[in-house]
Amino acid sequence: MHFLRFFSIFFVLLACSHLVFGQTEEYANGKKLTIEDYLALATKKEQEGLARDASHYLNQAATIYWEQKNYDKAIQHFEKSLQLNESIGNEQGVSGISSNLGMIYADRQEYGKAALYFDKVIDFRKKGKDKVSLIACYINASVVLNNLKDFTKAAQYLEESLRLAKETNNADQMKSCYGMLSETYEKAGLADKAKENFEMYRTFHEMIQRDKEMVYRQSAEEAKLRTLLVEAEKRNKELALFSAKAEIKEQAKTLNAFDSANNALTASMTKQELALFAMRKEARVKELELEQHQDKIRRDAIIRYGLVGILVFLSGLALFIYRSYREKRKTNWQLKRQNREITEQQQIILAQKDDLEKAFEEIADKNHNITASINYAQRIQTAVLRDKTTLQQLIPDSFILFKPRDIVSGDFYWFHEWKNPNTGASKILLAVVDCTGHGVPGAFMSMIGSNLLNQIVGANITSPEKVLAALHEGISSSLRQKDTENQDGMDMVFCSIDKQQKILETAGAKNQLYYIQNNELVEIKGDKNAIGGKTQADASIEFTNNVVYISQPTMLYLFSDGYQDQFGGENNKKFMTKNMKTMFLEMYQKPATEQLTIADQTITDWIGNRHQIDDILVMGARL
């Protein structure tokens, strides 16, 4: 059904009843007026208090700018003209100019502004009786709303234009409305409605094509019959004229010959012979008169038969026209019957629509309440997580890229500066955690995990492998995984940084980390065990502690699996760890603020217009 898109746009351009591109050129002193002339006249008329005349000249200037695609100037002068018409209460002028402004903003793809002007035109057109113009306004507005992805309002406008088209019994407009409705419902994801309206569009299209073919055939036959009639009349006239000319010519020839012979004989004949000749001449004259009479009878017969033929021809033509008229009346009757059925179906659909709207309102209320609750949960989660910028106080050249898939996240970051209560030595502790699930369930797990990390470090447990083991026991205990079917848990990586000793200690539960030294990227993989989970709840789990010496400049990267597992790109594939490593190697020498921008823009471009499938979390720190 995508072929309807071109048809929809084409119909709208034809339907716009207030375009002024074809304005009448004006002259003064034999010279065609220019833009400057129009603007000067507009200023003069406005100073004279003639607002309507000033508006006319402003419209002429704006239209020329519009034709030149100088949209800013066109908008400037149309809006001034609009103000003049509003000041004198000229609603007709306000409507026309608003329509032009709507079309200009649509040309500029500023669909929000275009929609505002078209709505103003619709409000005015509703007051009048010109249904054709109102249909055009509805369709213009629906095209703009489709571009704004407001498919619900676009469908409402198209349904209203369809209702008006039914009232005027305009099959072409009904076909167009059904086609555009099919496309709109398809974009809105309402496949059943899209299919239903497409079937109606196809029905009207086929019916209109049949009517056009019948009218064309009828017109062709009528033209053919009229041509035959003209030719027959022409032949009859030519035949009669030829016959008359031939008869006159023959008679003249005969009489001339007869007179010549008569004159010759008269000179040599006796009286008796002349008398006999006179008698014979008289008999010959009567014979000629008889022949003329018979020729006249034959000509009359030809004309009579010709007229009979013409009458038979006209009778056949009348019969054909009558049958065509009867067929057309039958088709119109079928169309009216189908229209009644469509109206009845529409009434049923409207009743169902009312029920659906009530259901949608209830769902919308519930959705609003749920969304409000989730938004409140987001505020709680944000309050639990430390401000990302606080990490820069501990590690100045650092960043955190945090992109939840939903309003709240199952991924969370954690950092803390721990001081030894005995020696006063300090360590910086970092963690990136990926909890089971997304959204609200994941957010609950993230809050539990964050709280347990605070408790574990508060008990002066800072060695990464011990922190993970203690966190595993805390999750299993908090969720009572030994006694329930709950298998929720988390994957994570935990780091302890001793800047004085130049030592980095790390442990991972299924998650790895990368660090870069001397332009070489090193991967430290995590253990295969996760934190928590039913299958591991009965056993004590040990994690591996890894030590990295950071006496030379080191760039550290901690992350969840959301970044490398995101689908996108030209072939809609995963980003993969290979691309992630390449990105880190290319950007690690840049300041952390630039690295954050690069990482964010890279994954945004990779996703494109697709859906983010998981929470995304990346932490970087230069040690």
Give the per-residue pLDDT at 2: 44
Give the per-residue pLDDT at 582: 96
Q: Which of 50-59, 131-140, 415-424 has the lowest average pLDDT?
A: 131-140
Selection from 583, 582, 564 nearest residue 573 by Cα? 564
4-213 fold: 1.25.40
Confidence bin at 6 (pLDDT 50/70/90):
very low
Task: Give the tokens for residue 623.
Answer: 């040690």
Confidence bin at 534 (pLDDT 50/70/90):
low
Residues 6+ away with beta carbon under 8 Å from 391 = 398, 400, 415, 619, 621
Phi, psi of 481 (to 5 degrees): -75, -15
Cα gap 237→226, rounded to integer Å: 17
Question: How far are the Cα atoms of 183, 411, 465 from residue 472, in angstroms, in the given order?
Answer: 54, 17, 11
Running DSSP on this structure, what letter comes out for residue 521?
A: E
pLDDT (average), residues 415-434: 93
Q: Which amino acid is at 334?
A: Q
pLDDT (average), residues 455-483: 91
Residue given tokens 């009216």 in the structure block: 336
Count of other CB atoms within 10 angstroms of residue 61: 26
Running DSSP on this structure, what letter comes out for residue 19?
A: -
8 A C-beta contact, residue 558 and residue 495: yes
Give the per-residue pLDDT at 279: 64
Rounded (10°) CA dihedral 586, 597, 511, 467? 120
Selection from 421, 395, 400 nearest residue 554 by Cα? 395
8 A C-beta contact, residue 598 and residue 590: yes
8 A C-beta contact, residue 514 and residue 582: no
Rounded (10°) CA dihedral 495, 501, 502, 503? -30
pLDDT of residue 160 exceeding 80, the answer is yes
Per domain, the residue ranges of the chain are 4-213, 219-334, 386-622
Residues 6+ away with beta carbon under 8 Å from 109 = 147
Q: Which of 99-108, 130-139, 599-608 has the highest mean pLDDT?
A: 599-608
pLDDT of residue 396 exceeding 50, the answer is yes
pLDDT of residue 327 exceeding 90, the answer is no
pLDDT of residue 430 exceeding 90, the answer is yes
8 A C-beta contact, residue 131 and residue 168: yes
First-last CA distance in the chain: 58
8 A C-beta contact, residue 522 and residue 514: yes
Residue given tokens 């964010």 in the structure block: 600
User: What is the widest separation between alpha-carbon atoms in the chain?
Assistant: 182
pLDDT (average), residues 245-256: 61
Phi, psi of 270 (to 5 degrees): -85, 175
pLDDT (average), residues 53-60: 92
Count of other CB atoms within 10 angstroms of residue 511: 21
pLDDT of residue 354 exceeding 50, the answer is yes
Cα gap 244→516, rounded to integer Å: 118
8 A C-beta contact, residue 561 and residue 405: no
Give the per-residue pLDDT at 343: 81
Question: How far are the Cα atoms of 363, 369, 440 from residue 406, in angstroms, in the given order?
Answer: 19, 16, 9
Residues 6+ away with beta carbon under 8 Å from 81 = 54, 55, 58, 59, 62, 93, 97
Give the per-residue pLDDT at 14: 38
pLDDT (average), residues 179-185: 91
Phi, psi of 533 (to 5 degrees): 115, 145
pLDDT of residue 467 exceeding 90, the answer is yes
Cα gap 146→134, rounded to integer Å: 18
Which residues is 494 bridged to in the sheet?
431, 507
Cα gap 48→54, rounded to integer Å: 9
pLDDT (average), residues 349-369: 76
pLDDT (average), residues 86-96: 89
DSSP string, 334-372: HHHHHHHHHHHHHHHHHHHHHHHHHHHHHHHHHHHHHHH
| Count of residues in the chain | 623
Give the per-residue pLDDT at 11: 40
pLDDT of residue 537 exceeding 50, the answer is no
Sign of CA dihedral 450, 456, 462, 468: negative
8 A C-beta contact, residue 384 and residue 605: no
**Cα–Cα–Cα angle for 21, 23, 24, rounded to 5 degrees:** 155
Q: Which of 71-75, 264-268, 320-324, 479-483 has the highest mean pLDDT?
A: 71-75
Higher per-residue pLDDT: 587 or 535: 587
Tell me, letter by letter, the H, E, C secondary structure of 415-434: EEEEECCCCCCEEEEEEEEE
Phi, psi of 410 (to 5 degrees): -95, -15
3-state secondary structure of 374: helix
Give the per-residue pLDDT at 451: 92
pLDDT of residue 539 exceeding 50, the answer is yes
Give the per-residue pLDDT at 5: 44
Residue given tokens 């000509």 in the structure block: 299
pLDDT of residue 259 exceeding 80, the answer is no
386-622 fold: Phosphatase 2c; domain 1 (3.60.40)
Q: Which amino acid is at 330?
A: K
| Long-range contacts formed by 326-333: CB under 8 A, 24+ apart | 327/214, 328/211, 328/214, 328/215, 331/207, 331/210, 331/211, 331/214
Task: Give the tokens for residue 588.
Answer: 């690690």
Phi, psi of 119 (to 5 degrees): -65, -40
